[in-house]
């Protein structure tokens, strides 16, 4: 299993804390947005006498409310198309296990969420990357690039929309192109849509479950973690109209017995969160994104992929190895006792040697902290020696 590029620097951050330093965390997508009160209150006032198992696929009541939530987003599914999972991570593992065998291949545009590497390795599946480039703002590579990579072992294409770590939002036209290729080659299209709500600049998210004719091919991965700032709930789901996929995923769900009961109660209640909550959150993230990019553009030699969604961006730095740079920031550099923690982007690629001069920044801090953090980055680059 590969180390997480997001978490492997934690010991160095802890050492910095022990020295009395303040560390601005740009490395992990843990929002500082408050969890909806309605979700927390539901756990506080529950009337359970026994914290029992739920059904392996999740409670009927919760899955019915999830289906109603999707309907509001023009995604028509039934509760029987949904299996509640222990986070989006487990949903991805179920999707891999249900559609691919040992030695099979999944094509993923890179850079991609680093744990896709871990999920594929633990499932015995080989990642075949198709590279998207910062110069194109990480747009979908030409379909011809996908077709070159398809072999008899290819079973699926996996995308994250909007993307982690790039913040890229796939257009309706790009989804349609992917739909054509998976139908032509009889592949699954797996879409990690956990950042669906976080879309900016008047753009709209288009789900693969909205695309006609994809019923047998489309598998959506979802989660409450980022939508409701409930990362610790560990509740997600896998959604597909392909009955065989759902029946197979249910076997994996039965093997781990059930998703957590109290977290389902909180997640079900979270679905009653008023729209104003999301309006305020999106407004805040747009402001943070704009602040971050404005500050980064003041640094010579830096290249930025502008996010259209989620709350991440990839930044190319004038350094040779961002792993070494990130460790140096924590061990040796500070300004008045303050430093930053970033995620080296090499771990978001599976192609060796690609992305070594890039970092991922999660703009989950308030604007004042972001300005301070980018100032620290700017000054650090002036003195860092490769």
**Which residue among 243, 270, 297 closes a domain?**
270
**Residue 260: per-residue pLDDT:** 97
The reported pLDDT for the residue numbered 150 is 98
Same domain, 14 and 47: no
Closest CA to 213 of 256, 180, 164, 257: 180
Say how far apart CA 206 and CA 209 lie, in whole Å. Answer: 8
Give dist(CA 225, CA 208) in Å, integer.
21
Extended beta strands in the chain, E state: 22-25, 82-85, 105-110, 126-131, 154-160, 188-192, 218-223, 236-239, 303-304, 312-316, 338-341, 343-344, 358-362
Confidence of residue 21 (pLDDT cuts 50, 70, 90): very high
Domain boundary among the residues 270, 291, 322 is at 270
- Flag whether pLDDT at 177 surpasses 90: yes
Q: Is residue 69 part of a domain?
A: yes
pLDDT of residue 386: 84
CA neighbor of 343 nearest in space, from 52, 2, 6: 6
How do beta strands 236-239 and 188-192 pair? unpaired
Is residue 62 located within the same domain as residue 162? yes
221-225 average pLDDT score? 98
Instruction: Please report the pLDDT score of residue 6 as a whole number.
Output: 73
pLDDT of residue 46: 93
Query: Does 333 lie in the same domain as 284?
Result: yes
In a shared domain, residues 60 and 26: no
Q: Quote the pLDDT of residue 7.
A: 79
pLDDT in tens, 252-306: 999 999 999 999 999 999 999 999 999 999 999 999 999 999 999 999 999 999 9
Asked whether residue 337 is domain-assigned, the answer is yes
pLDDT value for 31: 86
Instruction: Give the pLDDT confidence of 297-307 residue by residue, as tens digits.
Output: 999 999 999 99
Do 24 and 47 fall within a single domain?
A: no
Mean pLDDT of 212-230: 97
Q: Is residue 47 in some structural domain?
A: yes
Helix (H) or strand (E) holding 328: helix 322-331
**Do β-strands 82-85 and 236-239 pair in parallel, antiparallel, or remain unpaired?**
antiparallel
Tell whether the model's pLDDT for residue 186 goes beyond 90. yes
Number of separate domains in the chain: 2
Q: What share of the chain is helix, strand, coil (3-state, %, to 5)?
A: 40, 15, 40
CATH number, position 182: 3.40.640.10
4 part of a folded domain: no
- Determine the pLDDT at residue 28: 87
**Residue 204 buriedness (CB in 10 A; 0-12 / 13-18 / 19+):** exposed
Q: What are phi and psi of 304, to 5 degrees?
A: -125, 135
- Is the pLDDT at 1 greater than 90? The verdict is no
Q: Are residues 288 and 163 in the same domain?
A: no
Over residues 94-103, the pLDDT tens digits come to 999 999 999 9
DSSP string across 276-289? HHHHHHHHHHHHHH
Do 281 and 184 belong to one domain? no
Residue 169, in any domain of the structure = yes
Handedness of CA 378, 379, 383, 386 (dihedral sign): negative
Q: The domain that contains 343 carries what CATH number?
A: 3.90.1150.10
pLDDT given at position 371: 97
Quote the pLDDT of residue 8.
81
Q: Are residues 74 and 209 part of one domain? A: yes
Point out the domain boundary residue: 218, 236, 270: 270
Instruction: Answer for the pair 120, 127: CB distance below 8 angstroms, yes or no.
Output: yes
Q: What is the DSSP string of 209-254?
A: GGSTT-TTTEEEEEESTTTTT-GGG--EEEE-S-HHHHHHHHHHHH
Within a domain: 1: no
Q: How far is residue 324's CA from residue 331's CA, in Å, rounded to a whole number?
A: 10
Residue 299 domain boundaries = 10-34+276-383
Exposed / middle / buried, residue 360 (Cβ in 10 Å: 0-12, 13-18, 19+): buried
Q: Compute the mean pLDDT over every residue in the chain, rounded to the nearest whole number.
A: 96
Strands 312-316 and 126-131: unpaired
Residues 166 and 224 in one domain: yes
Residues 42-85: tens digit of each pLDDT: 999 999 999 999 999 999 999 999 999 999 999 999 999 999 99
pLDDT the model gives residue 281: 95
Do 310 and 242 belong to one domain?
no
**Confidence bin at 192 (pLDDT 50/70/90):** very high
On the question of pLDDT at 90 being above 80, the answer is yes
If asked whether residues 308 and 251 sit together in one domain, one would say no
Question: Do 164 and 117 fall into the same domain?
Answer: yes
Does some domain include residue 313?
A: yes
Does any domain span residue 155? Answer: yes
Q: What is the mean pLDDT of residues 348-361?
A: 94
pLDDT attached to residue 2 = 80
């Amino acid at each position: 299993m590969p180390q997480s590029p997001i978490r492997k620097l934690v010991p160095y951050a802890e050492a910095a804390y022990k020295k009395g330093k303040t560390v601005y965390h740009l490395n992990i997508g843990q929002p500082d947005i408050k969890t909806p009160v309605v979700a927390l209150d539901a756990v506080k006032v529950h009337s359970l006498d026994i914290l029992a198992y739920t059904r392996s696929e999740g409670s009927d009541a919760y899955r019915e409310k999830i289906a109603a939530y999707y309907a509001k987003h023009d995604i028509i599914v039934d509760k029987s198309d949904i299996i509640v999972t222990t986070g989006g991570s487990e949903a991805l593992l179920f999707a891999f296990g249900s559609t691919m065998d040992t030695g099979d291949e999944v094509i993923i545009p890179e850079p991609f969420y680093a744990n896709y590497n871990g999920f594929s390795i633990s499932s015995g599946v080989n990642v075949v990357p198709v590279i998207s480039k910062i110069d194109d703002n990480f747009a979908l590579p030409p379909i011809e690039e996908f077709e070159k990579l398809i072999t008899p072992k290819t079973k699926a294409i996996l995308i994250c929309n909007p993307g982690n770590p790039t913040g890229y939002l796939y257009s309706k036209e790009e989804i349609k192109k992917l739909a054509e290729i998976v139908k032509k080659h009889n592949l699954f299209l797996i879409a990690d849509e956990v950042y669906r709500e976080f879309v900016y600049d008047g753009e709209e998210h288009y789900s693969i479950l909205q695309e006609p004719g994809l019923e047998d091919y489309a598998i959506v991965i979802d989660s409450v973690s980022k939508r409701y700032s409930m990362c610790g709930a560990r509740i997600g789901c896998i959604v597909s109209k392909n009955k065989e996929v759902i029946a197979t995923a249910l076997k994996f769900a039965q093997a781990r017995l059930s998703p957590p009961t109290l977290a389902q109660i909180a997640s079900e209640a979270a679905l009653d969160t008023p729209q104003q909550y999301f309006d305020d959150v999106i407004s805040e993230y747009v402001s943070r994104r704009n602040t971050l990019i404005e500050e980064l553009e003041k640094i010579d030699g830096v290249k930025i992929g502008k996010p259209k969604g989620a709350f991440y961006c990839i930044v190319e730095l004038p350094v040779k190895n961002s792993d070494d740079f990130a460790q140096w920031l924590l061990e040796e550099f500070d300004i008045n006792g303050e430093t930053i923690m970033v995620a080296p982007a090499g771990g978001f690629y599976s192609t060796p040697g690609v992305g070594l001069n890039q970092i991922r920044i999660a703009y989950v801090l308030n604007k004042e902290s972001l300005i301070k953090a980018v100032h620290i980055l700017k000054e650090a680059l002036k003195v860092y020696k490769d």
